[in-house]
Amino acid sequence: MTIIEGKVAVVTGAGRGIGRAIALELAGMGAKVALAARNASELEQTARAAGAATSVIPTDVRKRDDVHRLLDQAASTLGPVDILVNAAGIGVFGQVTAFSDEDYDAILDTNLRSIFMICRHVLPSMIARGKGDIVNIASIAGKVGSPTRAVYCASKFGVVGFTQSLAEEVRQHGIRVSVVCPGSTDTTFSSDPHREGKVKGKMLLPADVAHAVRMLVTQEPNSFISEIILRPTQKP
């Protein structure tokens, strides 16, 4: 198993839910973690819970200048980025005929465009060093479409396709790009109609997704798990 102690990780969406769990997992393994999200107070709570070397960098991943500042500040304060986890995401749900342009733009900009911008900015350093791990958090909704989730599914299908293509583009440089597709997870995604009536005790926990990320970033150098589909043991 590869040891990540002392490595530099950037985690977006680190203020809550899956992103927070991943940040805590990596910090617990000894990584130096840059915590990114829009809500500074939530990031501070994550940093206190981590009790380790972390850097709080409030970031709106939809904005290119924020993305550049995040990665430049992480590199200058912690060191070159070894691990990038794109976990920031939002969901707005409803019939396509009633869907607003503003909600469409917010979902695509947060869930997909941000990943493109962040990867584009962090990759030159990884390529120059011949190593790096990028993990993009998608969803089962990136594998199977469903009603009232058309735009959300489009964003997550995009994450899966982007990840698969980027992985082939940079694997020759020693960089692994993987995607994790969790099923129903007990987070604050309360506006999703597909969560209504589901049993919380049967859903995945954010820590389950963090465990999958742990497995990806601790692979031996000649190993490459490109995709993980994660489901609850029982249908919730």
40-63 confidence digits (pLDDT tens): 999 999 999 998 889 999 999 999
Q: What is the pLDDT of residue 46?
A: 98
Give the strand order in the sheet containing 54-58: 54-58, 32-37, 8-12, 83-86, 132-137, 175-182, 227-230
Residue 153 lies in a domain: yes
Residue 165 pLDDT exceeds 70: yes
Kind and range of the H or E element at 26?
A: helix 17-28
CA distance 117 to 133: 16
Asked which of 153-162, 183-192, 222-231 is least confident by mean pLDDT, the reply is 183-192
Residue 186 Cα to chain centre, angstroms: 16
What are the CA-CA distances from residue 172 to residues 80, 86, 94 (Å)? 20, 21, 41
Residue 192 pLDDT exceeds 90: no
Residue 134 lies in a domain: yes
Residue 235 lies in a domain: no
Residue 62, domain CATH: 3.40.50.720
Q: Which of 152, 157, 162, 189 is catalytic?
A: 152
The three-state secondary structure class of 231 is coil
**Residue 28, class by beta-carbon neighbours within 10 Å (0-12 exposed, 13-18 middle, 19+ buried)?**
middle
101-154 confidence digits (pLDDT tens): 999 999 999 999 999 999 999 999 999 999 999 999 999 999 999 999 999 999
CA distance 79 to 68: 15
Q: What is the pLDDT of residue 197?
A: 59
Residue 2 lies in a domain: no
Residue 217 pLDDT exceeds 80: yes
Q: What is the pLDDT of residue 235?
A: 83
Catalytic: 104? no
Residue 195 pLDDT exceeds 70: no
> Which tokens belong to 38?
């829009």
Average pLDDT over residues 200-224: 94
Which amino acid would we find at residue 75? A
The three-state secondary structure class of 230 is strand
Supply the mean pLDDT for the chain.
Answer: 95
Q: What percent of the chain has pLDDT over 70?
A: 96
Q: What is the pLDDT of residue 19?
A: 98
> Which tokens belong to 86?
């794109």
CB 178 within 8 A of CB 132: no
**Residue 98, class by beta-carbon neighbours within 10 Å (0-12 exposed, 13-18 middle, 19+ buried)?**
exposed
Residue 186 pLDDT exceeds 90: no
Residue 75 lies in a domain: yes
Domain count, the chain: 1
Size of the chain in residues: 236
Q: Which of 7, 10, 6 is nearest to 23 (CA)?
A: 10
Residue 31: CB atoms within 10 A of its CB come to 26
Residue 234 gets which letter from DSSP? S
Q: What is the pLDDT of residue 129?
A: 98
Residue 195 lies in domain: 8-230
Please state the pTM of the whole predicted model.
0.95
Residue 1 lies in a domain: no
Residue 157 pLDDT exceeds 70: yes
CA-based Rg of the chain, rounded to a whole angstrom? 17
pLDDT band for 190, please (50, 70, 90 cuts): very low
Q: What is the pLDDT of residue 191?
A: 53
End-to-end CA distance of the chain: 33
